[in-house]
Amino acid sequence: MIGDLFADLGAPDAGKTEPLAEGAMVLRGFALADAPALLAAVGEITAAAPFRHLETPGGFRMSVAMTNCGDVGWVSDRRGYRYQPLDPLTGNRWPAMPPLFLSLARRAAQAAGFGDFHTDVCLINRYAPGARLTLHQDKDEKGYTDPIVSVSLGLPAVFQFGGLSRADKTRRIRLEHGDVTVWGGPARLAYHGVAPLADGEHPATGPCRINLTFRRAL
């Protein structure tokens, strides 16, 4: 099933830099060496701030389970999308961002041409088979001068990357364990999403995909 889904996407080469648009690229295998430590840190974070399925302002349950770490966390409910310093599930502050997270995000941003990346939040998403992320823009941040850095761990996924209008044509990019996607500058507000995750089993994560998304929210 996974082979059929990815048949038209080609096989990515680890260590390769793959441009997507002006200001956007995939760094193949960039996080591979750090992956075991990243996943161990995710386990510690989710012990304090468990994964949960948020509700959209329209009342729909998101198929992707998520949590956060950093100075603030991204949340969604009937009141809208926003960042806040306290986890609504526990009432506590979000777990601090591990030093490895900060280091990886900054190194990836620099490799993509964005120096001095200031990230204060990491959204941690867990995709089970069938979970998806519809096309959207990341617009809840106070400014757009810093890029988005997104780390893929576990099962492969089809990343959809478009333009500044929802109607723009999207590219389908195969993302595998350890790949890092960075978009900023003229691509900072590009529409993007993730196609429904195919069934599978990965030795690092089992039957799921973990995604770390670093942003500057404040």
Question: Which range of residues forms the domain containing residue 112?
Answer: 2-33+98-215
Of the chain, the end-to-end C-alpha distance in Å amounts to 41
Residues 69-98, mean pLDDT to the nearest whole number: 98
pLDDT at 73 over 60: yes
Could you tell me if residue 125 is inside a domain? yes
Write the CATH number for 167. Answer: 2.60.120.590
Strand order in the sheet with 157-161: 133-136, 192-194, 157-161, 171-175
Could you tell me if residue 39 is inside a domain? no
**Tens-digit pLDDT profile for residues 133-172:** 999 999 999 999 999 999 999 999 999 999 999 999 999 9
- Number of domains composing the chain: 1
Spatial CB neighbours of 110, under 8 Å, sequence gap ≥ 6: 117
User: What is the distance between the alpha carbons of residues 44 and 96, in angstroms, rounded to a whole number?
Assistant: 11
Could you tell me if residue 28 is inside a domain? yes
Could you tell me if residue 58 is inside a domain? no
Could you tell me if residue 122 is inside a domain? yes
Mean pLDDT of the residues in the chain: 94
Could you tell me if residue 195 is inside a domain? yes
pLDDT at 1 over 50: no
Task: Give the confidence band of 28 by pLDDT, cuts at 50, 70, 90.
Answer: very high
Residues 122-128, mean pLDDT to the nearest whole number: 98
Residues 122-137, mean pLDDT to the nearest whole number: 98
pLDDT at 11 over 90: no
Coil, helix or strand at residue 47: helix
pLDDT at 10 over 80: no
DSSP-derived letter for residue 185 is G
**Closest to 117 measured CA to CA, from 147, 73, 72, 74:** 147
pLDDT at 12 over 90: no
Could you tell me if residue 49 is inside a domain? no
Run of H or E including 6: helix 2-6
Could you tell me if residue 158 is inside a domain? yes
pTM for the predicted model, two decimal places = 0.93
Angle, vertex CA 83, rays to CA 112 and CA 135, nearest 5: 60
pLDDT at 14 over 80: no
Angle, vertex CA 99, rays to CA 45 and CA 136, nearest 5: 65
